[in-house]
Amino acid sequence: MTLTHEIYKTVLSEITKYIIGREKIVELLFATLLSKTHMLIEGPPGTAKTLTAKLFAQTLGLSFKRIQMTPDMVPADIIGAKIIDPKTGELRTILGPVFANIVLADEVNRASPRTQSALLEAMQEKQVTIEGETHKLPKPFTVIATQNPWETTGTFPLPETQLDRFGIAVTVNYPSFEEEIEIIMKDHELKAEEPVARKVVDEYELFQAFEEVAKVHVERKILEYIVSIVKITRGLDEVVIGASPRASIMMLRYSKAIAALRNRDYVIPDDVKYVAPYVLWHRIILKPSIHETYTPSEIFEIKNKLIKDKILSKIEAPW
């Protein structure tokens, strides 16, 4: 049994004491952290996106910061700024909330493009520059951004360059009838108090998990399979912009992470098939005529069908 798998089971067991029906999100959150990248979550408010991310950080003993994005925010509200200390009169640096292991950018599409771009350097370079001075971000560092795709008033859609910085995009829906009953029962048991998860993984174990994922074996045929999937997105009639080579890299990283989380030290085609829709969904840009004709929820279904029927079903798996 891989150490990564053991850690994942322990973390999942702790989180599911408080969160109902979010096992897949927890797995993808862990895969995102181990892939050293970032995650975009789309879905309606009140579906435990923030709480899941917070509990996940607590189980791993990682620092967590939540940034509520608003139209009047400026980059300094995220990365920090230099101010004059009123006591000493000296210039000192105040680091912003981006300085945490796991940063939740809530409703990221409510911030202006200028403020959204403040996350770019942090997400790509793992550092920020405050008035010419570079500051390294803590390790590990992962941004989890949320947005409501159905609400457009007062929002600024993320540009393709920003979307491409996210390793995967995930959609969460409302819980089932039975799940919602369990959710309100859980709130009743907790007496309306905010749940707090125990730290169940130490720093050394987490470091070992990163090492384990890095050493997951990948056959050349798997690499060819990944590139073939990404390449076909660039020639589809419905698509104006296909996936870039970064998508191939993300698909490889996530496939390795999922393999380790599922107790294997090698990648199989099913790992690639599992992560491909999450890696591709936000990177495939449909033609403007399609966006003008269909609603956001219909666009979601069109993309899903496109990935399933015209991409994954067209490329033969190695075995």
Q: How confident is the model at residue 296 (pLDDT cuts 50, 70, 90)?
A: confident
Higher pLDDT, 169 or 85: 169
Q: In this predicted structure, what is the pLDDT of residue 297? A: 78
CATH superfamily of 215-319: Magnesium chelatase subunit I, C-Terminal domain (1.10.8.80)
Is residue 285 within 8 A of residue 241, CB to CB? The reply is: yes
Tell me: pLDDT of 150 over 80.
no
pLDDT digits (tens, 9 = 90+) for 241-266: 899 999 999 999 999 999 999 999 99
Q: How confident is the model at residue 159 (pLDDT cuts 50, 70, 90)?
A: confident
Tell me: pLDDT of 285 over 80.
yes
- Print burial letters for 202-237: b (CB count within 10 Å at least 16), e (below 16): eeebbebbbebbeebebeeebbebbbebbbbbeebe
Q: In this predicted structure, what is the pLDDT of residue 224? A: 98
pLDDT digits (tens, 9 = 90+) for 3-55: 999 999 999 999 999 999 999 999 999 999 999 999 999 988 889 999 999 99
39 alpha-carbon distance from chain centroid: 1
- Print burial letters for 6-16: b (CB count within 10 Å at least 16), e (below 16): ebbeebbebbe
Cβ atoms within 10 A of the Cβ of 174, count?
Answer: 12
Q: In this predicted structure, what is the pLDDT of residue 19? A: 94
Q: In this predicted structure, what is the pLDDT of residue 23? A: 95
Q: In this predicted structure, what is the pLDDT of residue 292? A: 87
Q: In this predicted structure, what is the pLDDT of residue 152? A: 65
Please report, for the chain, the start and end positions of each structural domain, with discontinuous segments joined by +: 1-214, 215-319
Tell me: pLDDT of 84 over 90.
no
**Mean pLDDT, rounded, for 74-102:** 91
* Nearest Cα residue to 259 out of 225, 209, 308, 307: 209
Q: In this predicted structure, what is the pLDDT of residue 148? A: 77
Q: What percent of the chain has pLDDT over 70?
A: 98
Cα 311 to Cα 273: distance, rounded to the nearest angstrom: 10
Is residue 110 exposed (0-12), middle (13-18) or buried (19+ Cβ within 10 Å)?
A: buried
Tell me: pLDDT of 197 over 90.
yes
Cα 96 to Cα 130: distance, rounded to the nearest angstrom: 10
Q: How confident is the model at residue 87 (pLDDT cuts 50, 70, 90)?
A: confident
Q: In this predicted structure, what is the pLDDT of residue 36? A: 97
Q: In this predicted structure, what is the pLDDT of residue 27? A: 98
Architecture of domain 1-214: 3-Layer(aba) Sandwich (3.40)
Q: In this predicted structure, what is the pLDDT of residue 300? A: 84
Q: In this predicted structure, what is the pLDDT of residue 295? A: 83
For all residues of the chain together, what is the average pLDDT? 93
Is residue 219 within 8 A of residue 267, CB to CB? The reply is: yes
Instruction: Please state the pTM of the whole predicted model.
Output: 0.95
Low-confidence winner among 89-103, 143-157, 274-288 (lowest mean pLDDT): 143-157
Question: Do the domains 215-319 and 1-214 match in fold?
Answer: no
Query: What does DSSP say about strands 102-106 and 39-42: parallel, antiparallel, or unpaired?
Result: unpaired
